[in-house]
């Protein structure tokens, strides 16, 4: 197998918004409790946050974290999470049929998110609540002082406003499972009026309107068109959510999940631009891909009828090498659309379909998928270059004929940073020899090659073998006269750095 591509700084997609490397913390299962927060854990700080999880989060390079849900937010009273912890109510969270003790609320979360060097992307409840609760929440978080809610925040110890810039107008309101599910018309009007009021409290905020909760939703497309027609003036972004899994042993289709993600993004861009044209709007609506990952949802079905319990082990998928390669490929798809996808939130950070796993009182470790995420977040900063790779194709049941190679290149902002090519070989059995032509960047003289691949594509990390799956440095390919040749192992995610 041979493939080739040309890297040329003249052909730019656009700058990478660092928020593309965001993540998501929901009050779900063990993401908050026993995940980021566990008072009494040997590594816990004075506020009860796990130091080991915070360190792994910092290493990931996550600049923004969506919070507090997810489906959870559609039944959440944000006021339950403020004030003295001992007097906060314990509630039933109907989204996940769990007991929510409200030990972590906005003030605690802000402390944690600052400690990991990130900012918050806050969601408001448009399921059971609406405009009034949302505008009060913005006042609590962002107004300096001298009003009821801002002075409440100050009384709770935070004198400076949190200055939370990005706010989600609800979550997956198109989904019949959502508490307070709405039609596109109902949601669009509510989101428009709620967003208007929130922005009157703080004109500097950015707002995300809910798009479809997946491309497979029966209302997909018409939902976006109706919602954006109602919210075009107030919204800055429309959300996208997508989860992928291997079905019926069809690994070839699963490995090409990014083909579906590409098509989904292209369709949402087309819909948003259609609404722009019809409405004679000047601004463009960009995309907040604020939930994406591999998620074995078919395994989850059996967990849904659990009795109401505290900190249940929900949706704790364990990821293989194959899953990690797909996660790396989904990041390639997001980068390829960097001109329109400005925010991305890998879902979720800890335990729940997590990059990081924990045991209560015990260790925290990196799942296989942690590695391509951390490396892309670290080196995929700068300007995305448009590539036109050439190479073999293969047939899939789910996506038709797809390329064996998928790749994207990012040109660093500093000249010494060079170019990084992220590339996936989707062939399960054969190596792929990749020719890179970088003659238009004559200052680049050396190269390195990191791969995530394994003789056992089902290998995973767990508490007993936390480093079973890690990236490997291969022999550096020779960069000769602006050209290099790298051999991508079968079923592999790869990072080629040209400096
Ligand atoms: O990330 C898990 C769940 O997936 C979220 O709560 C919801 O928004 C989506 O359906």
**DSSP letter for each residue of 66-112:** EES-SGGGGG--GGGGSS-GGGSPPEEETTTTEEE---S-HHHHHHH
Residue 172 appears among annotated catalytic residues: yes
For 310-323, what is each residue's pLDDT tens digit? 999 999 999 999 99
What local confidence, expressed as pLDDT, does residue 416 receive? Answer: 82
**b/e per residue 134-149 (b: at least 16 CB within 10 A):** bbbbbbbbbbeeeeeb
Report whether pLDDT(305) > 70.
Answer: no
Report whether pLDDT(300) > 90.
Answer: no
Helix (H/G/I), strand (E/B), else coil: 396: strand
SS3 content of the chain, % helix, strand, coil (to 5): 30, 25, 45
Specify the residue with its C-alpha closest to ligand 1, atom 3.
70
Q: H-helix or E-strand containing 267?
A: helix 257-278
Q: H-helix or E-strand containing 497?
A: strand 492-498
What local confidence, expressed as pLDDT, does residue 417 receive? Answer: 83
What local confidence, expressed as pLDDT, does residue 303 receive? Answer: 62
Average pLDDT over residues 55-73: 98
Q: H-helix or E-strand containing 122?
A: strand 119-124
According to DSSP, the residues that pair with 434 across neighbouring strands are 3, 486
For 91-110, what is each residue's pLDDT tens digit? 999 999 999 999 999 999 99
Domain 2-9+385-498: assigned CATH number: 2.60.40.1180
For 146-205, what is each residue's pLDDT tens digit? 999 999 999 999 999 999 999 999 999 999 999 999 999 999 999 999 999 999 999 999
Domain boundaries, the chain: 2-9+385-498, 17-379
What local confidence, expressed as pLDDT, does residue 441 receive? Answer: 95
Cα–Cα distance measured from residue 452 to residue 324, given in angstroms and rounded to the nearest whole number: 8
Out of 3.20.20.80, 3.40.190.10, 3.10.440.10, 3.40.50.720, the CATH code matching 17-379 is 3.20.20.80
Ligand 1 centroid distance, CA of 19 (Å): 19
Report whether pLDDT(302) > 60.
Answer: no
For 458-467, what is each residue's pLDDT tens digit? 999 999 999 9
Average pLDDT over residues 415-431: 95
Report whether pLDDT(429) > 90.
Answer: yes
For 133-145, what is each residue's pLDDT tens digit? 999 999 999 999 9
End-to-end CA gap in the chain: 26
For 357-404, what is each residue's pLDDT tens digit? 999 999 999 999 999 999 999 999 999 999 999 999 999 999 999 999
Note whether 373 and 60 are within 8 A (CB): yes
Lowest mean pLDDT among 204-213, 268-277, 413-422: 413-422
Ligand 1 centroid distance, CA of 181 (Å): 14
What local confidence, expressed as pLDDT, does residue 304 receive? Answer: 63
Residue 291 appears among annotated catalytic residues: yes
pLDDT mean across residues, the chain:
97
Q: Percent of the chain beyond pLDDT 90?
A: 97
Helices then strands (H, E): number in the chain?
A: 11, 25
Ligand 1 centroid distance, CA of 456 (Å): 30
Tracing tokens 């996506």 back to the chain, one arrives at: 399
For 211-241, what is each residue's pLDDT tens digit? 999 999 999 999 999 999 999 999 999 999 9
Catalytic residue among 38, 172, 224, 246: 172
List residues near ligand 1 (CB under 6 A). Answer: 26, 28, 69-71, 171-172, 213, 291, 347-348
Please state the atom number of ligand 1 nearest to the C-alpha of residue 24.
1
Q: Does the reported pTM lie above 0.95?
A: yes
Cα–Cα distance measured from residue 167 to residue 189, given in angstroms and rounded to the nearest whole number: 17
Residue 305 structure tokens = 């009828």
At residue 301 the predicted structure's pLDDT band, cuts being 50, 70 and 90, is: low
According to DSSP, the residues that pair with 287 across neighbouring strands are 238, 341
**DSSP letter for each residue of 426-484:** --SSS-EEEEEE-TT-TT---EEEEEE--SSTT-B--SS-TTSS--EEEPPPP-BTTEE
Please state the atom number of ligand 1 nearest to the C-alpha of residue 72.
6
Cα–Cα distance measured from residue 195 to residue 232, given in angstroms and rounded to the nearest whole number: 11
Alpha helices in 316-442 (DSSP H): 321-336, 370-379
Please state the atom number of ligand 1 nearest to the C-alpha of residue 348.
1
Q: For a substitution probing ligand 1, which of 24, 96, 169, 171 has the most ligand atoms within 8 Å of its CB?
A: 171
For 333-360, what is each residue's pLDDT tens digit? 999 999 999 999 999 999 999 999 999 9
Ligand 1 centroid distance, CA of 71 (Å): 6
């Amino acid at each position: 197998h041979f493939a080739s591509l040309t890297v040329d700084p003249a052909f730019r997609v656009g700058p990478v918004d660092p928020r593309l490397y965001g993540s998501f913390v929901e009050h779900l299962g063990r993401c908050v409790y026993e995940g980021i927060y566990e008072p009494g854990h040997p590594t816990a700080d004075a506020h009860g946050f796990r130091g080991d999880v915070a360190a792994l989060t910092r290493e990931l390079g996550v600049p923004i974290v969506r919070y507090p849900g997810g489906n959870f937010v559609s039944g959440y009273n944000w006021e339950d999470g403020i004030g003295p912890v001992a007097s906060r109510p314990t509630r039933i969270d109907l989204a996940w049929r769990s007991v929510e003790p409200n030990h972590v609320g906005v003030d605690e979360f802000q402390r944690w998110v600052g400690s990991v060097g990130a900012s918050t992307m806050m969601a408001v409840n448009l399921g059971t609540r609406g405009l009034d609760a949302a505008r009060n929440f913005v006042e609590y978080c962002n107004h300096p002082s001298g009003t009821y809610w801002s002075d409440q925040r100050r009384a709770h110890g935070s004198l400076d406003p949190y200055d939370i810039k990005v706010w989600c107008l609800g979550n997956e309101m198109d989904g019949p499972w959502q508490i307070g599910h709405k039609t596109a018309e109902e949601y669009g009007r509510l989101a428009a009026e709620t967003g208007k009021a929130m922005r009157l409290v703080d004109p500097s905020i950015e707002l995300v309107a809910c798009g479809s909760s997946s491309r497979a939703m029966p209302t997909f497309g018409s939902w976006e068109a109706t919602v954006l027609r109602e919210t075009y003036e107030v919204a800055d972004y429309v959300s996208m959510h997508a989860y992928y899994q291997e079905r019926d042993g069809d690994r070839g289709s699963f490995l090409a999940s990014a083909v579906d993600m590409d098509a989904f993004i292209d369709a949402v861009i087309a819909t948003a631009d259609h609404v722009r044209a019809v409405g004679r709007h000047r601004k463009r609506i960009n995309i907040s891909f604020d939930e994406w990952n591999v998620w074995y949802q078919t395994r989850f079905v059996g967990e849904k009828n659990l009795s109401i319990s505290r900190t249940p082990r929900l949706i704790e998928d364990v990821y293989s090498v194959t899953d990690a390669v797909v996660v790396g490929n989904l990041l390639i798809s997001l980068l390829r659309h960097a001109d329109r996808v400005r925010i991305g939130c890998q879902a979720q950070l800890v335990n729940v379909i997590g990059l990081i796993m924990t045991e209560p009182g015990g260790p925290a470790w990196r799942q296989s998928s942690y590695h391509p995420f951390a490396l892309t977040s670290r080196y995929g900063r700068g300007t995305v270059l448009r590539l036109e790779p050439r190479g073999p194709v293969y047939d899939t049941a789910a996506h038709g004929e797809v390329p064996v190679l998928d790749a994207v290149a990012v040109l660093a902002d500093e000249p010494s940073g060079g170019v990084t090519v992220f590339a996936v070989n989707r062939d399960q059995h054969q190596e792929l020899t990749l020719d890179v032509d970088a003659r238009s960047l004559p200052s680049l003289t050396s190269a390195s090659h990191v791969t995530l691949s394994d003789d056992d594509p089902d290998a995973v990390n767990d508490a007993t073998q936390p480093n079973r799956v890690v990236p490997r440095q291969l022999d550096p390919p020779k960069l000769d006269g602006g050209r290099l040749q790298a051999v991508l192992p079968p079923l592999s995610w790869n990072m080629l750095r040209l400096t």
